[in-house]
């Protein structure tokens, strides 16, 4: 027992956390005392310890500084190595040192006796366990290798990058961005090509094919790369997010293949695929067409993509051929002219590019806007102009703003005034104090207080009014206070005029099928184009004529009348819409249905909303659920889905309880409603369904 206790005391001195020595200062010089306060090294040194600012004594050895250089000292006051190093740091039982040699600044490794273990021929050395990662710079390139601490070559100095990833493991790369995993003897122990590493507590997450895997502290592969994300939770546990699994499905619901990806979108003959935070292209056989090295891929037009890589944007083809170099902050627009933003000398500039990616102008612009009638608004030094797709500044940048472009004429604001110019910078309308706007190619409107004035480009008054006007192609319409209107050409000549409506008319509706609704004494009726009363004012409310029938309201209910003022559908409805193709929507007890011209109900009033789709089918909304009726208004899909999307071949893509599937027009299941996403590939006539990855906590 006494012998065991003695061993524990010795071990505590040798390996305990308490440092048995400490530095003291005296007269601006430093020395060392032991734990009992006895002076071991006299205070004669500029500094003691190591060049990184730390202090320790290992095997009675520490560092000292003299004349801004570092050396090695034994506590018996014996200089093991003179002060020759600009850097001297401790790593276990070895010292990483740096000094000036005839070849320049170089790094090497010493042992605690001050002897050189790895010679001073390297630009940089990083110790990792019992191995040294050495670096040489030559002709502007960096090459790295691995040496043992006996100065034996483990890996030659020929690699672009070597990264320690665990206690005795390294990642080595001889290409741009891809790594192999090797042990401390240089032997490869993992078959994949690794893209990146990320520390995760004592573990290391690594990325391959944009999916993450995990190395334990010993560098062993614990999880192969099959995860969207691997993280540590607040309790320090490893949690994984499985990658989304996409499944290829035929129109009969048979599965043919699967692929792990964050997102997949069919695009022409290829698939836009996102894995992790990168995007690439696959063909129909899921073979890589464009590698997964882009932050964004956005379809621009058939055969072209806006691509973003290393925070720089350009345009490429699906083959990867570069059309516009990836040197811009952003790309917008469409061929044959693209707008690109770049940063030059910390200033944002805009460029107009042609379909070959070349800038079509040399002038720098602060901004280039979307195309307007074949021209691009531009801003230079705060002033506006216009540029052609070829880069010619057809309107010089001297205007406060460009307000409108029409038919080769430009409405501008210049020094706070409003005018119109041609594309040769010639004034067609001199700057005016008050706002103006286009009437036609030779005339413009001026607002002067409440008055509107029509002028020609010589400044002659053509017409003036206080009434509202609406400009057309060859005339304008003036709406008079009594409800009548006049059509006038741009020479100021009257074309035609609707007659005054009957006196005491309170309200006028827009003309429809030759009839205009009016209100007199609180009741509604209709007049014709000449203002003659055709249907007496005896209805509580009305709607416009459509297909010869108009909605009317009597005693709180709606029905329909003919132009002969005959009641053809009895007023039995709370609300109605006009007839379209012989059918009208009607509402009873808060629900909508559809009737035909003879009043027969085609679709019962059971629905919150009805909407006809372009293919003739009707969307049915009932209690928040969606269904379908065919063009004959037969209910083919009962309302029970969150989303519904008819596609070709008589199939319907549906969502229920946040899951997607496919049913037939008869409502029969074709693909189970079990997918978080379901895309239809119209080119290959199949579906791509996604089962979403889930977070799980791992226990080891």
Q: How far apart are the first and last CA of the chain?
A: 38
**SS3 state of residue 565:** coil
Residue 650 confidence (pLDDT): 82
The pairing of strands 376-380 and 383-387 is antiparallel
The alpha carbon of residue 263 and the mean position of all alpha carbons in its chain are separated, in whole angstroms, by 13
pLDDT digits (tens, 9 = 90+) for 483-534: 677 889 999 998 877 655 555 666 667 789 989 898 888 899 998 877 788 9
- Beta carbons of 523 and 502 less than 8 angstroms apart: no
Which residues have CB under 8 Å from 324's CB, separation 6+? 314, 315, 316, 331, 338, 340, 353, 357
Which residues have CB under 8 Å from 439's CB, separation 6+? 445, 454, 471, 476, 490
Looking at the domain assignment, is residue 462 inside a domain? Answer: no
Question: Which residue(s) pair with 688 in the sheet?
Answer: 248, 679
Residue 503 confidence (pLDDT): 57
Residue 6 confidence (pLDDT): 33
**SS3 state of residue 516:** strand
Looking at the domain assignment, is residue 204 inside a domain? Answer: yes
Residue 7 confidence (pLDDT): 30
pLDDT at 131 over 90: yes
Looking at the domain assignment, is residue 576 inside a domain? Answer: no
By residue range, what is the domain housing residue 213? 21-223
Looking at the domain assignment, is residue 665 inside a domain? Answer: no
DSSP string, 233-260: -TTS-EEEEEPPEEEEE-TT--EEEEEE
Q: How many domains does the chain have?
A: 1
Residue 504 confidence (pLDDT): 61
Burial of 341 (0-12, 13-18, 19+ CB in 10 A): middle
Give me the mean pLDDT over the 303-310 stretch: 94
Looking at the domain assignment, is residue 200 inside a domain? Answer: yes
pLDDT digits (tens, 9 = 90+) for 419-457: 999 998 899 999 999 999 999 989 999 998 889 999 999
Looking at the domain assignment, is residue 389 inside a domain? Answer: no
Residue 646 confidence (pLDDT): 87
Residue 192 confidence (pLDDT): 85
Looking at the domain assignment, is residue 101 inside a domain? Answer: yes
Looking at the domain assignment, is residue 322 inside a domain? Answer: no
pLDDT digits (tens, 9 = 90+) for 208-238: 888 999 999 888 899 999 899 999 999 889 9
Least confident segment among 176-185, 571-580, 622-631: 176-185
């Amino acid at each position: 027992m006494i012998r065991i206790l003695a061993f524990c005391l010795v071990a505590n001195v040798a390996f305990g956390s308490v440092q048995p020595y400490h530095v003291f200062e005296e007269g601006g010089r430093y020395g060392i005392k032991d734990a009992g306060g006895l002076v071991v090294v006299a205070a004669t040194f500029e500094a003691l310890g190591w060049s990184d600012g730390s202090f320790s004594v290992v095997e009675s050895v520490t560092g000292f500084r003299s004349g801004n250089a570092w050396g090695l000292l034994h506590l018996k006051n014996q200089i093991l190595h003179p002060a020759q190093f600009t850097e001297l740091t401790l790593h276990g039982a070895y010292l990483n040192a740096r000094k000036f040699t005839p070849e320049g600044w170089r790094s090497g490794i010493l042992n605690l006796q001050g002897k050189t273990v790895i010679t001073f021929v390297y630009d940089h050395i990083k110790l990792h366990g019992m191995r040294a990662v050495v670096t040489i710079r030559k002709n502007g390139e960096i090459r790295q290798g691995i040496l043992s601490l006996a100065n034996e070559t483990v890996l030659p100095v020929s690699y672009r990058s070597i990264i320690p990833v665990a206690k005795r493991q390294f990642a080595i790369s001889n290409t741009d961005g891809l790594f192999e995993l090797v042990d401390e003897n240089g032997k490869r122990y993992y078959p994949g090509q690794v893209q990146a590493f990320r520390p995760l507590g004592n573990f290391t997450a690594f990325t391959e094919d944009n999916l993450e895997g995990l190395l334990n502290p010993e560098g062993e592969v614990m999880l192969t790369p099959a995860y969207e994300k691997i993280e540590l939770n607040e309790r320090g546990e490893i949690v994984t997010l499985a990658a989304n699994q996409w499944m290829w499905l035929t129109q009969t619901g048979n599965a043919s293949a699967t692929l792990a990806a964050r997102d997949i979108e069919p695009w022409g003959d290829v698939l836009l695929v996102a894995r992790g935070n990168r995007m690439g292209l696959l063909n129909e056989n899921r073979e890589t067409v464009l590698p997964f090295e882009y932050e964004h891929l956005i379809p621009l037009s058939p055969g072209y993509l806006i691509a973003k890589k290393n925070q720089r944007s350009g345009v490429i083809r699906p083959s990867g051929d570069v059309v516009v170099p990836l040197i811009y902050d952003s790309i917008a627009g469409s061929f044959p002219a693209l707008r690109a933003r770049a940063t030059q000398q910390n200033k944002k500039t805009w460029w107009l590019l042609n379909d070959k990616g070349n800038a079509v102008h040399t002038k720098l612009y602060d901004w280039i806007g979307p195309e307007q009638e074949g021209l691009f608004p531009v801003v230079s030094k705060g002033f506006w102009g216009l540029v052609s797709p070829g880069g010619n500044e057809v309107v010089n940048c001297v205007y406060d703003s460009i307000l409108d472009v029409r038919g080769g004429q430009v409405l501008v604001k210049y020094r706070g005034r409003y005018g119109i110019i041609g594309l040769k910078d010639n004034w067609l309308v001199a700057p005016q104090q008050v706002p103006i706007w286009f009437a036609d190619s030779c005339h413009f409107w001026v607002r002067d207080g409440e008055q509107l004035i029509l002028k020609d480009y010589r400044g002659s008054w053509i017409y003036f009014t206080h009434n509202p006007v609406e400009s057309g192609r060859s005339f304008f319409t003036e709406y008079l206070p009594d409800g009548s209107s006049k059509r006038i050409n741009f020479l100021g000549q009257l074309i035609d005029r609707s007659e005054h409506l009957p006196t005491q008319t309170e309200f006028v509706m827009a003309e429809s099928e030759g009839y205009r609704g009016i209100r007199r004494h609180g009741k509604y009726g209709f007049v014709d184009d000449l203002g003659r009363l055709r249907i007496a004012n005896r209805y509580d409310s009305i709607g416009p004529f459509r297909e010869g029938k108009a909605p009317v309201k009597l005693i709180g209910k709606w029905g329909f009348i003919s132009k002969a003022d005959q009641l053809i559908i009895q007023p039995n409805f709370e609300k109605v819409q006009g007839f379209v193709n012989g059918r009208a929507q009607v509402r009873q007890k808060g629900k909508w249905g559809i009737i035909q011209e003879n009043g027969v109900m085609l679709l019962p009033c059971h629905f919150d909303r009805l909407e006809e789709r372009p293919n003739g089918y009707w969307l049915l909304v009932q209690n928040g659920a969606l269904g379908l009726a065919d063009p004959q208004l037969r209910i083919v899909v009962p309302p029970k889905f969150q989303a519904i999307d008819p596609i070709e071949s008589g199939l319907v893509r549906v969502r229920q309880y946040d899951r997607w599937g496919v049913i037939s027009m008869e409502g029969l299941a074709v693909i189970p409603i079990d997918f978080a996403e379901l895309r239809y590939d119209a080119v290959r006539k199949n579906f791509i369904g996604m089962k979403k990855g889930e977070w799980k906590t791992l226990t080891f």
